[in-house]
């Protein structure tokens, strides 16, 4: 397994691999790998000839009062896990290498980024699209894999790749959950035991909405009232948003259809958690 820190060296290696006819699969991450990331790596291993994992905690996607300085990091463990999953290359650039002095070019996707997490975290998606565009230009993948837990992120990156004719297959992978149903996230380590219990309210509210939908309830407002009521039972929970949107446009829907997705962002204590589920589909835990 190669470890590459230089963007120029990574780009040269990618060009060599492409010239040799190799299909490159990229899994972009901010490190502190968990089973959700590993599921992407395993899928990338089977879908590509060369599997590249990128690890970079991107300062551009953190706001002033967010957790960039204390975001969990464990590069040695990440490298062990990457090796176990069969990664061929781990690309680990520094901030100075990716954003050298004088850097002033950014990528923005309009329409999909001014709602949901974009409304709560101004500038977040500009940071996401900029770093992912750079990673695509450096690693030159044929395929890039992202988890569906960050549903809006997946929609934004898919739009960027299509609009800019990047020629990259963007593959969304299912949410990986803990045994109790909580969606896996690097930020889960910030939760104390009581907050961790209260975090179950997200998936439990999704289960309630899914059950009501199966029984015939199609009014989004009715389903969202039930979702909000369940989450509000937890003393440490504060709802950022609970919305039912179209899976492609992210616009609010009054009636639930096969294209509807329930999207949640909830702050438990000081930790912001997100989750989602397409209500027409079975919820597997």
Question: How many whole angstroms separate alpha carbon 272 and alpha carbon 199?
Answer: 10
Question: How many whole angstroms separate alpha carbon 169 and alpha carbon 211?
Answer: 34
Return the beta strands (E) in the chain as ranges: 2-4, 24-29, 50-55, 89-91, 143-147, 169-173, 237-246, 260-268, 271-278
Count CB-CB contacts under 10 A for residue 239: 16
Question: How many whole angstroms separate alpha carbon 223 and alpha carbon 231?
Answer: 13
Which value, to the nearest 10 degrees, does the dihedral of the CA atoms of residues 73, 79, 82, 83 take?
-170
Which residue out of 34, 37, 142, 246 is catalytically annotated?
37
Burial (CB < 10 A; 0-12, 13-18, 19+), residue 189, is: exposed
Q: How far is CA 238 from CA 148, 193, 195, 204, in A?
A: 23, 17, 12, 15
Question: How many whole angstroms separate alpha carbon 57 and alpha carbon 72?
Answer: 9
Question: How many whole angstroms separate alpha carbon 14 and alpha carbon 25?
Answer: 11
Question: How many whole angstroms separate alpha carbon 133 and alpha carbon 118?
Answer: 18
Reply yes or no on whether 124 is catalytic. no
Question: How many whole angstroms separate alpha carbon 78 and alpha carbon 34?
Answer: 9
Q: Catalytic residue positions?
A: 37
């Amino acid at each position: 397994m190669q470890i590459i820190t230089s963007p120029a060296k990574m780009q040269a290696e990618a060009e060599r691999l492409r010239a040799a006819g190799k299909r490159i699969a990229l899994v972009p991450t901010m490190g502190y790998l968990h089973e959700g990331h590993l599921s992407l790596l395993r899928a990338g291993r089977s879908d590509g000839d060369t599997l590249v994992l990128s690890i970079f905690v991107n300062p551009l996607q953190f706001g002033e009062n967010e957790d960039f300085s204390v975001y969990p990091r464990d590069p040695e463990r990440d490298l062990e896990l990457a090796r176990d999953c069969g990664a061929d290359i781990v690309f680990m650039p520094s901030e100075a290498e990716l954003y050298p002095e004088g850097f002033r070019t950014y990528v923005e996707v309009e329409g999909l980024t001014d709602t949901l997490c974009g409304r709560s975290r101004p500038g977040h998606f500009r940071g996401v699209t900029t770093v992912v565009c750079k990673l695509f230009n450096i690693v030159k993948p044929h395929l890039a894999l992202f988890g569906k837990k960050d549903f809006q992120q997946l929609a934004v990156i898919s739009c960027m790749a299509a609009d800019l004719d990047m020629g990259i297959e963007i593959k969304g992978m299912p949410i990986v959950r803990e045994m109790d149903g909580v969606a896996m996230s690097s930020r889960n380590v910030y939760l104390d035991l009581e907050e961790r219990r209260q975090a179950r309210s997200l998936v439990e509210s999704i289960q309630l909405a899914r059950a009501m939908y199966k029984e015939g309830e199609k009014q989004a407002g009715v389903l969202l009232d039930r979702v909000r009521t369940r989450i509000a039972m937890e003393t440490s929970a504060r709802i950022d948003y609970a919305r039912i949107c179209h899976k492609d446009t992210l616009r609010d829907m009054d009636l639930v259809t096969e294209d509807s997705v329930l999207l949640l962002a909830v702050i438990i204590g000081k930790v912001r958690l997100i989750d989602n589920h397409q209500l027409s589909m079975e919820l597997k835990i």
